[in-house]
Chain A
Amino acid sequence: MPSPSYILTRLLQIIPTFLFIMVVVFVLVRLLPGDPASAILGERATDEAVARINAQLGLDQPVPVQFAIFLERFLEGDLGTSIHLKIPVVQLIEERLPVTLMLTAYAALLALLLALPLAFAAALRRDRGADMVIRGAFQVGLSTPVFYIGLVLLTIFAANLRWFPVGGFGETLTDQLYHLFLPALTLALSLSAVLMRNLRASIIEVLGAEYVDFARAKGLRPRIVMARHVLRNALISTVTLFGLSMGTLIGGAVITETVFAIPGAGRLMIDSIYGRDYPVVQGLTLALAILVSLAFLITDLVQAALDPRIGR
């Protein structure tokens, strides 16, 4: 297990990251064309009304004070209200984010099921036929945009064969897993290409390591060497990769949700951009960035738990 001091340092490191995320989102909102008061009141607002709204939002204050107000609101859990839906942004995020989380977790699981056996197969048959085919497949996977994979799967398995629904999100858990299968597979195909490429390399590296030779020389059965030495080390690099891929995975989820019409946070974000619903865009950017940095944190801790060399 990682030492308490490592955990504490890592937890403290997340504070500047959060602050940075807040600054970026704050600056983004500052760059918006037009002022928020007329966005709320409409074009024909009187000057007094605009001044009143500005005072209410703290926009008549100096910029650092405005940032402090922004931070304070955030800590109180207030991210503003959607202009179109008239619902607090926090409530919208609470409704939509779980869908996105479920999709990404599902995709991560499928990607692992795809990548781990294939990476092993490729690494053990290095530079032979099977390896070439698997490597060729992930090269193609890396060059294919997520929305294209989604569109092709959607056409073949939902529109033509009718094995799966063309979109949406079910009511019960089984129904949801069924609805999300194609979207999760879409994301998984794209993620497993990245996973496989790196896993194959790390398995090959481990297979050549002295401690594996030593384990074999001790007379350990090949299966034990594979499970205890090779697989364990391959898992460490998988965990790291998963953490690093979280950002890509979330980005892919935004696109996949749009292709499959899934009512998640990603689709909400795209819809809000079309509708110029800036409070929602801002809130979602913040939520997704915080989500990814938390995933980084968890990755580091799990990695430290798996690898005794880290986290002393």
Chain B
Amino acid sequence: MSAVLEARAAPASVRRRIRPTLASGAMILAASLVLAIVPGWFAPYDPLVFDYGALLQPPSLAHPFGTDNFGRDMLSRVIWAYRIDMQIALFGTLFPILFGCLVGAAVGYYGAWPDVLFGRVVDALITFPFLVLVIAIVAVLGPGLINMYIAVGVVGWVFYARLLRAEIRIQKQQEYAAAGKVMGYSDARIILRHLLPNAITPVLVFWMTDMALVILLGSSLGYLGLGAQPPAAEWGVLIADGKNFMTTGWWISIFPGLAIVVTGLGFSLLGDGIADLLRPQP
């Protein structure tokens, strides 16, 4: 409520820019982050404890999301899963964004043969069906989250590098870049202090989308049994747990899936909102 009042009190130029997409995305993600950091404050039960007196209970006041076939409280399991899935979003994109930006900035700035080589690598990597390659790598390294991060990292950096390369090439042509060169600044200083702040917006917007995509990927692998391993509560694993009870206990799979959808929406709304906010006003 106070956020709404503040937005109303803001000057007209700012008020015009704060869109409902940005506000709702930010709110969803803030809530998700809180749940991920302190799930214990919100989860009514221990997510791993069996309760043989309450097996396969439909949603009720005591168990808003019902219980699974071991009597575990689904609301608590979905809440604890925030910790793992938000972690997947962060760690699954950390190496790609860092390494991708490094490569993208370098090939965009220097051009010449590294740029040509980069073009070839990109062409080849994007022909690989991403999920198939990730599954193949996880199959070789073994199931688990760490191996999933490695698999995602092998391919994921390309998208960031491609984006930043294009932006850096545009910014390099600007006069302020030439001015930096005339001042005798080092390449690293020009790239980091001058070009990067002007070129990073599309990368940050894509980062939001990518975190949503990585959550989808992570839960898919979890569902297939190749990602997070049971009994850990991860949304994909929870959905897989419930798939044999869809007719007798639909709530086991349905609620974790809704958590994925809402979190994914949060990321894409925030991404769109940031893009709107940073787009030059006419």
State whether the Cβ of A154 lies closer than 8 Å to any Cβ in chain B.
yes
* Most interface-central of A28, A144, A147, A296 (chain B CB within 10 A): A147
Whether the Cβ atoms of A145 and B127 lie closer than 8 Å is no
State whether the Cβ of A247 lies closer than 8 Å to any Cβ in chain B.
yes
State whether the Cβ of B6 lies closer than 8 Å to any Cβ in chain A.
no
Interface size class of B (residues with CB under 8 A): 35 or more
15 contacts between A and B (CB under 8 A): A32-B140, A145-B216, A145-B219, A155-B250, A160-B247, A247-B131, A248-B130, A250-B132, A252-B131, A254-B135, A259-B243, A269-B132, A289-B133, A292-B127, A292-B129
Whether the Cβ atoms of B133 and A285 lie closer than 8 Å is yes
Q: A31-B141, A143-B261 are in contact. Are A293 and B127 (CB under 8 A)?
A: yes
> Which residues in B have their C-beta under 8 angstroms from that of A293?
127
Whether the Cβ atoms of B224 and A255 lie closer than 8 Å is yes
> Which residues in B have their C-beta under 8 angstroms from that of A269?
132, 135
Whether the Cβ atoms of A251 and B224 lie closer than 8 Å is no
Whether the Cβ atoms of A281 and B260 lie closer than 8 Å is no
Q: A143-B265, A145-B260, A155-B246 are in contact. Are A258 and B224 (CB under 8 A)?
A: yes
Interface size on A, residues (CB 8 A): 51
State whether the Cβ of B220 lies closer than 8 Å to any Cβ in chain A.
yes
State whether the Cβ of A91 lies closer than 8 Å to any Cβ in chain B.
no
State whether the Cβ of A139 lies closer than 8 Å to any Cβ in chain B.
yes
Which single member of A28, A144, A146, A148 contacts B136 (CB below 8 Å)?
A28
CB closest residue in chain A, given B139: A273
Q: A155-B247, A160-B247 are in contact. Are A247 and B220 (CB under 8 A)?
A: no
> Which residues in B have their C-beta under 8 angstroms from that of A154?
246
Q: A148-B239, A159-B246, A281-B139 are in contact. Are A140 and B265 (CB under 8 A)?
A: yes
State whether the Cβ of A3 lies closer than 8 Å to any Cβ in chain B.
no
State whether the Cβ of B264 lies closer than 8 Å to any Cβ in chain A.
yes
Within the assembled complex, what's the spacing in Å between the Cα atoms of A273 and B123?
Answer: 27
CB closest residue in chain B, given A141: B261
Which single member of A29, A143, A251 contacts B132 (CB below 8 Å)?
A251
> Which residues in B have their C-beta under 8 angstroms from that of A241?
none
State whether the Cβ of A46 lies closer than 8 Å to any Cβ in chain B.
no
Give the distance to chain B from A286, nearest Cβ to Cβ, in Å: 10
Whether the Cβ atoms of A140 and B261 lie closer than 8 Å is yes
Within the assembled complex, what's the spacing in Å between the Cα atoms of A142 and B267?
Answer: 11
> Which residues in B have their C-beta under 8 angstroms from that of A252?
131
Within the assembled complex, what's the spacing in Å between the Cα atoms of A160 and B248?
Answer: 11
Known contacts A139-B269, A154-B246, A288-B129; 13 further A-B pairs (Cβ under 8 A): A16-B124, A139-B265, A140-B265, A143-B262, A145-B236, A147-B220, A151-B239, A159-B247, A247-B130, A254-B135, A255-B131, A285-B132, A289-B129
B residues adjacent to A (C-beta < 8 A) = 120, 123-124, 126-133, 135-142, 212, 216, 219-220, 223-226, 236, 239, 243, 246-247, 250, 253-254, 257, 260-265, 267-269
Q: How many contacting A-B pairs (Cβ < 8 A)? A: 133
Pick out which of these stretches binds chain B: A17-25, A118-126, A201-209, A216-224: A17-25
Q: Which of A256-306 contact B (CB under 8 A)?
A: 258-259, 269-270, 273-274, 278, 281-282, 284-285, 288-289, 292-293, 296
Give the distance to chain A from B220, nearest Cβ to Cβ, in Å: 6
Whether the Cβ atoms of B132 and A288 lie closer than 8 Å is yes
Q: A144-B261, A145-B236 are in contact. Are A255 and B220 (CB under 8 A)?
A: yes
Which single member of B130, B224, B243 contacts A270 (CB below 8 Å)?
B224
A residues adjacent to B (C-beta < 8 A) = 13, 16-17, 20-21, 24-25, 28-29, 31-33, 139-140, 142-148, 151-152, 154-155, 159-160, 246-248, 250-252, 254-255, 258-259, 269-270, 273-274, 278, 281-282, 284-285, 288-289, 292-293, 296
CB closest residue in chain B, given A296: B127
* Most interface-central of A148, A159, A258, A274 (chain B CB within 10 A): A148
Q: A28-B137, A151-B246, A273-B135 are in contact. Are A251 and B265 (CB under 8 A)?
A: no
CB closest residue in chain A, given B221: A255
Give the distance to chain B from A70, nearest Cβ to Cβ, in Å: 16
Whether the Cβ atoms of A273 and B247 lie closer than 8 Å is no
CB closest residue in chain A, given B264: A143
Give the distance to chain B from A196, nearest Cβ to Cβ, in Å: 14
> Which residues in B have their C-beta under 8 angstroms from that of A29?
140
Which single member of A143, A151, A288, A289 contacts B212 (CB below 8 Å)?
A143
